[in-house]
Amino acid sequence: MKKVINITIGGMVFTVEEDAYKKLSDYLDAIKAHFTKDKDGDEIIEDIEASIAEKFSKRKNKNAAVTGKDVAAVMEQMGSLKDFKKLSEEEDDDAETDDSSEEGGKKLYRDPDDNIIAGVASGLAAYFGIDALLIRVLFVISIFFGGFGIMLYLLLWLVIPLAESRSQKLEMKGERITLHEIEKSVKKEIHRLKKKDLSALKKFGSELGELILVLLKALQKIIGAAFMLTGIAGVFILSFALTWQLSGGDIPDTNLTLNDFIVVTETMYWVFVLSVYVLMVVPLILAFLLGLGMMKNVSVIRGGEFVLLLVLWFGALGLTGSVVFENLPLIETRFEEIDEHYEFEQDEYFYIDEVRDFEEPKAPAMPF
């Protein structure tokens, strides 16, 4: 006795035995995974499915359920995954990429073999060639900054695809992050989770998954717009502040300029101002690009540019950090001055000290 499953393939309905179904879907999944990067991938899979449907309907006993034997016969004619791989080996040169981003960088994947949650940290570690432990520690630390780390982790989980095949694991090339891929990876992830879950959770999981997908699509535009606006406004404000600084304007509410906080040479001062600017503007640019990508449903962040921005940012961080560190005592003094100045102004306006009553602080009650 065998359980059967109804499937549609190539637009036709077939009844398939359970084990045959498993075999067929594994086969098709493998082929799909192989062709995900191919421009014609969808069409090739459609063709293959149509041909499988034709073969099923040409069986002698075409009204009987499709058996494991039938599937094996079809697979033999169609060719194994190895055959597909053999063919595409030399087509990689022909792969006519329409983007120039694949410039020898690495490909960012989540690592399923070395994961604590979803393999984000180990994937990032492989990408940047550093130890996963370091990334994990950074994630944990960043959680204390208003849960920032958790949000970032979830976002990366969505954005970074899982390295499934062995070739993907070996692949170390740069890839653009497109929303189509995000959606695909979300679907795949849900599929993966569904497979993992207990059967009782399965239905709930799939419904939840569908719901999440719908919500994600709706949220995508809203979040995209928010990111864009934040980015644009931030860049605008910062650039205004930079111009203000360049023209020698005071910091609002004080008669101090940035120059009063640090003691450096003239050139060093401008380098410092610029690096502060870069430090703040890079995340805003990234937010803007991310938002734009979400709005337009295309990717605008390329691997190379991303790395460049990252390098710029870390450079700026180093510069700013060293200058601030060297001038720490002076900066503290200046801030104290500003505080005093501010209090003084308040006193002036409200004559607080004339009505101020000094009460002796009450001694805390002794516990015995």
Partner 1 sequence: MDYLENIRAQIRKGILEFAILVVIEEKEIYASDILKKLRETELIVVEGTLYPLLSRLKRHELVTYAWKESKSGPPRKYYKLTAKGREALESLKDSWKSLYTSINSLRKNNEKGN
Binding footprint of partner 1 on the chain (CB under 8 A): 10-12, 31, 35, 38-40, 43-44, 47-48, 50-51, 53-58, 77-80, 83-84, 86-88, 90-91, 94
CA 24, distance to chain mean position in Å, is 33
Q: Distance (Å, rounded) from C-alpha 65 to C-alpha 225?
A: 51
* CB 68, CB 20: distance < 8 Å: yes
CB of 173 to partner 1, least distance (A): 20
Nearest to residue 313, comparing CAs of 286, 274, 282? 282
Question: Looking at beta carbons only, is 10 or 304 nearer to partner 1?
Answer: 10
CB of 227 to partner 1, least distance (A): 34
Question: Looking at beta carbons only, is 90 or 353 nearer to partner 1?
Answer: 90
CB of 220 to partner 1, least distance (A): 29
CB of 7 to partner 1, least distance (A): 14
Question: Looking at beta carbons only, is 62 or 217 nearer to partner 1?
Answer: 62
Q: Distance (Å, rounded) from C-alpha 12 to C-alpha 49?
A: 10
- The tokens describing 223, both together, are 């979040």
Question: Looking at beta carbons only, is 2 or 86 nearer to partner 1?
Answer: 86
Question: Looking at beta carbons only, is 35 or 127 nearer to partner 1?
Answer: 35
Question: Looking at beta carbons only, is 81 or 271 nearer to partner 1?
Answer: 81
Alpha carbon of 206 to those of 38, 201, 203, 216, 341: distances in Å?
Answer: 28, 9, 5, 15, 61
Give the number of other Cβ atoms within 10 Å of residue 304's Cβ: 15
Alpha carbon of 155 to those of 28, 161, 316: distances in Å?
Answer: 29, 12, 25
CB of 72 to partner 1, least distance (A): 14
CB of 30 to partner 1, least distance (A): 11
Residue 247: CB partners within 8 Å, gap ≥ 6? none
- Positions of E strands within the chain: 4-9, 12-17
